[in-house]
């Protein structure tokens, strides 16, 4: 009887060891409109929820990413949606103003006129010009109350509007901005068709 119990424990231990050493298959990238890919990992960031909303020409996708680093935690979302190819810079400014207003309302802050600054990112060797706004709020982040930076980005790529929203503790600003720049450069945008 003792031999049988010992043998059973050895078998269970061997199975547990084999299962724990077997690498898990990484999740497949989320895809939007058969061209936008949101990989499970981008640099050191891990993808979380992917939310598809709307239908037809109003459909959009939002993918959440997180850098789980105790010294530099970063929460980042990217939202991609179709826009009219004829939409001009004024339309982009209007949409970006709506994005900034939504951020301020979420923090119970009145809209303070703040000019958007021109910005650009390089992804996959292509430069994308756009608009950037930066805010600092005192709020909970990772179970602590602290100054938190929120950055909003708005880019156009042909018929696509690409918006990023990034949050991180203000105390980690230099490291966080470097991490965000790394993410933005590594998430490759598809070629304009």
Q: Is residue 13 part of a domain?
A: no
How many structural domains compose the chain? 1
Q: Is residue 2 part of a domain?
A: no
State which H helix or E strand residue 78 sits in.
strand 74-82
Task: Evaluate if residue 10 carries a pLDDT over 60.
Answer: no
pLDDT digits (tens, 9 = 90+) for 94-151: 888 888 888 877 776 654 445 568 788 877 778 888 888 888 887 776 777 778 888 8
CA-wise closest residue to 179 among 46, 80, 50, 40 = 46
Q: Is residue 193 part of a domain?
A: no
Tokens 């490759």 locate to 188
pLDDT band at 15 (very low <50, low <70, confident <90, very high): very low
Global confidence as pTM: 0.75
State which H helix or E strand residue 42 sits in.
strand 41-42
Domain that holds residue 75: 28-186
Q: Is residue 103 part of a domain?
A: yes
Rounded mean pLDDT, 49-72: 86
Q: Is residue 158 part of a domain?
A: yes
Q: Is residue 97 part of a domain?
A: yes
Q: Tell me, what's the pLDDT at 16? A: 31
CA-wise closest residue to 139 among 187, 75, 46, 185 = 75
Q: Is residue 23 part of a domain?
A: no
CA-wise closest residue to 50 among 30, 74, 68, 28 = 30
| CATH number, residue 147 | 3.40.1000
Q: Is residue 113 part of a domain?
A: yes
Rounded Cα distance between 177 and 140, Å, is 20
């Amino acid at each position: 009887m003792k031999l049988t119990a010992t043998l059973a424990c050895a078998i269970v231990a061997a199975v547990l060891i084999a299962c724990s050493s077997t690498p898990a298959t990484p999740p497949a990238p989320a895809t939007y409109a058969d061209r936008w890919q949101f990989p499970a990992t981008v640099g050191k960031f891990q993808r979380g929820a992917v939310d598809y909303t709307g239908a037809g020409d109003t459909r959009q996708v939002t993918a959440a990413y997180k850098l789980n680093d105790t010294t530099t935690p970063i929460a980042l979302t990217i939202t991609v949606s179709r826009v009219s190819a004829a939409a001009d810079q004024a339309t982009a400014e209007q949409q970006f103003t709506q994005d900034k207003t939504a951020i301020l309302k979420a923090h119970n802050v009145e809209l303070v006129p703040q000019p958007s600054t021109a910005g650009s990112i390089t992804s996959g060797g292509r430069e994308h010009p756009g608009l950037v706004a930066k805010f600092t709020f005192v709020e909970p982040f990772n179970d602590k109350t602290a100054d938190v930076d929120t950055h909003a980005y708005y880019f156009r790529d042909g018929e696509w509007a690409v918006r990023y929203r990034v949050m991180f503790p203000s105390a980690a600003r230099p490291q966080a901005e470097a991490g965000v720049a790394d993410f933005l450069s590594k998430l490759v945008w598809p070629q304009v068709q």
